[in-house]
A and B are shown apart, each in its own frame.
Chain A
Amino acid sequence: MTQYAQTQTTVSEYSELSILQRTDKRDIAYVVYGIVILLMVVCAYLMAIFGWLPHDPEEMQLELMLAGPGAPGHLLGTDFMGRDTLPRLILVIKAYFVPGLMYIAVAILLGGIFGILSGYYGNKYETVVTYITNIIDSFPRLILMLLVVAAFKPDIYYIMMVLGVTNAPLVSQLIKGKISMLRQKNFVESAIALGIPDARIIFKHILWFNCRSYLIIQATLGMGEAILLESALSYLGFGVQEPTPSWGNMVQQGANYLLQGQLWSSTIPAMAIMFTVLGFYLLGDGLNNMLEGKRQS
């Protein structure tokens, strides 16, 4: 009896390959690039916290206003008040880091609750959740942020909170889709039949074992988005206010001098935004293809 079973081939060729072998080379490159950016962000965060800055970010050198990269003593040049760009770029990370994490936490928590209610319990919850998410979705996000900033104060935490809430419908949709897909499979039903409590099925069997890579991907993509949206808001003048630097308001200040031929003080922070956001997006994308498998084309 057992002998017969052993002669069968049990392992598909696909699962014999390690995760690196079966991933597209391009995706690995994405992830590596993303991780490098992530490490740079973490380094910058540590530098900002412990004050290991290459230059005093507040010190003004009026004779060196709007200097380009490579100016003596200023690796990335200076801004319109002659302040060194590099330490200000680094300092910004401190302003982004915790609020960004908060944004992700709010989005995943709120979206997770909505997603679980509508995906696992369905029916009436689904209708209510759909109404709520539709209301959130139909309100222009930037206007809502402006409203909140106007009503309270232009604080990055308020902005990230609004971002988190407005991003919850997306996360909820994704989690709902995943859960209702898994709910169709009998392993959920058999877990219920075995007497495993609902909470354990949702959090352990569905979220932990089947959605964790997915949530990590969402968090990575969200981090990039947070930076992008805060920059847009700061550029409009509603984000982080002077004298606290943010990439958005640095671009905005530099932009005033673009027409006079002073390119660098605006493009350097803009490039910081681009490379960082790209890093997070590529990391999310690469991880997605690596862990979840590429969709068959």
Chain B
Amino acid sequence: MGDAILKVTDLKKHFIQGKGLMSFMQRQTIPAVDGVSFDVNTHETLGLVGESGCGKTTTGKLILKLSQPSSGNIVYDGIDIVPMSNREFRPMRSKIQMIFQDLDAALNPKMRIGQILGETIKIHNKHLDDSAVTARMYELLEMVNLKKNKLSNFPSELSGGEKRRVGIARTLSVNPKFIVADEPTSALDVSIQAQVINLMVDLQKQLGLSYLFITHDLRLMELVSHRVAVMYLGRIVEIGDAKKVAQHPRHPYTEILWSSLHVKQSAAALKVQQHNAKAGAAWDVFDFTEEDKGCRFAPRCPVFAEKGQPQACTQQSPTLQDCASGHKVACHFPL
């Protein structure tokens, strides 16, 4: 693998809840993304997994500057994009692209496919004349295995898989080098998912793309990703080679996550559930209204329960530690 095309260091996005006159009384900060760091190498796919609401999509949007981070750095190809204004960043938008999760809404419902594609082609290549634009549209459609006659259709006239491929074609129309793929297979059935994934892998080989692949589907993750980062409540808990993370998870959360793939529930997770049931405690999520210290996974963690709720877990937030070559884990007691 080559050099890092994207370096994210200590990225934070805190949403402030509570607006209006009395907001000072109940203002609450929600750290959706809280100190995330990772690199993506050229021609590489980094998978970002985690449960819903853990900040995966927010991370993706921060990289695209669709929302401004609270702090941290995003260095793309040696340039820090965080302090740039939208106007300065606009020429760079052609290099960093996103495949949006919602396939219906990513396309303007009142525009024909040809209009949608033609516009984005022209935006970054103003000198192109109409015939060159059409040629480029055909080329893009061929790349994503769509028929030429789809150009005159409206998005509502396409199937889910076709819409997704139009979305990918539009993303490719600006010649990106780095693509954030936010759940590109959501709302598609399994066979279409496979088509889309194969297409993405093929395109990566053809065009030398790098992906940040955001998903909660672990099987797909293993198929596509070279490396994996596991997120839990705004923080990365484990990052490393995809196969290693899948086969030898070091963080209890990763272990539970991957064991959910198998029919048999994780023995560890089962134990902590039973333990909590006995103690009358809920299978609880970390509460942000309390003072934020300690490990965020602790309320659900089997190791934490097993070890008799050690001080380290509730008092000190674990940092990412290297445990094997490139395999990092944020846990006081890695498995």
Contact = CB atoms under 8 A, between A and B. Distances in A.
A259 to B, nearest CB: 57
A205 B106 contact: no
Contacts of A9: 159
B105 A185 contact: yes
Contacts of B100: 186, 189-190
B319 interface: no
B158 A193 contact: no
Interface in A207-255: 209-210
Given A5-B159, A15-B156, A193-B93, A186 B106 contact: yes
B35 interface: no
A198 to B, nearest CB: 8
Given A2-B147, A10-B162, A195-B91, 11 more contacts: A4-B191, A4-B192, A15-B156, A15-B157, A190-B170, A193-B64, A193-B97, A194-B93, A194-B97, A195-B94, A196-B120
A191 B119 CA distance: 10
A283 to B, nearest CB: 22
Interface string B168-182: 001000100000000
Contact of A205 (B91, B111, B162, B191): B111
25 contacts: A4-B192, A10-B158, A11-B157, A12-B156, A12-B157, A15-B157, A186-B101, A186-B105, A186-B106, A187-B105, A187-B106, A187-B109, A189-B66, A190-B167, A190-B170, A193-B64, A193-B66, A193-B93, A194-B93, A194-B97, A194-B170, A195-B91, A195-B124, A210-B108, A210-B109
B95 to A, nearest CB: 10
Interface string B143-162: 00101000000101111011
A5 B162 contact: yes
Q: Which 5 residue pairs across A and B have the least CB separation, nearest first?
A: A195-B93, A185-B105, A209-B110, A186-B105, A8-B159
A197 interface: yes
Nearest to A196: B123
Interface in B79-102: 90-91, 93-94, 97-98, 100-102
A1 interface: yes
B123 A194 contact: yes
B107 interface: yes
A192 interface: yes
A201 to B, nearest CB: 10
B94 A193 contact: no
Contacts of B195: 1, 4-5
Contacts of A186: 100-102, 105-106
A11 B106 CA distance: 19
A12 B159 CA distance: 10
Interface string A160-194: 00000000000000000000000001110111111
Interface size class of A (residues with CB under 8 A): 20 to 34
A130 to B, nearest CB: 13
Interface in A89-119: none
**Residue with the highest number of chain A CB atoms closer than 10 Å, among B110, B123, B192:** B110
B51 to A, nearest CB: 21
Contact of B161 (A8, A189, A195, A210): A8
Nearest to B89: A195
B242 to A, nearest CB: 25
Interface string B118-150: 011001100000000000000000000101000
A12 B191 CA distance: 21
A186 B159 CA distance: 18
A209 B123 contact: no
Contacts of B167: 190
Contacts of A196: 119-120, 123
A194 B170 CA distance: 9
A10 to B, nearest CB: 5
B231 to A, nearest CB: 21
Nearest to B167: A190
Contact of A195 (B123, B154, B159, B162): B123
A2 B161 CA distance: 10
Contact of A190 (B98, B109, B159): B98
A1 B142 CA distance: 13
B93 A10 contact: no
Contacts of A205: 108, 111
A191 B106 CA distance: 8
Interface in B174-205: 174, 191-192, 195, 198
Nearest to B154: A15
A195 B123 CA distance: 8
Interface string B61-91: 0001010000000000000000000000011
Contacts of A210: 108-110
Contacts of A193: 64, 66, 93, 97-98
Interface string A1-40: 1101100111110010000000000000000000000000
Nearest to B107: A187
Contact of A1 (B94, B97, B123, B145): B145
Contact of A192 (B66, B94, B110, B191): B66
Nearest to A2: B145
Contacts of A192: 66
Given A12-B156, A186-B106, A197-B90, A209 B119 contact: no
Contacts of B158: 10
B19 to A, nearest CB: 10
Contacts of B109: 187, 210
B238 to A, nearest CB: 29
Contacts of B64: 193
Nearest to A187: B108
Contact of A209 (B102, B108, B120): B108
Given A8-B161, A186-B106, A195 B90 contact: yes
B66 A10 contact: no
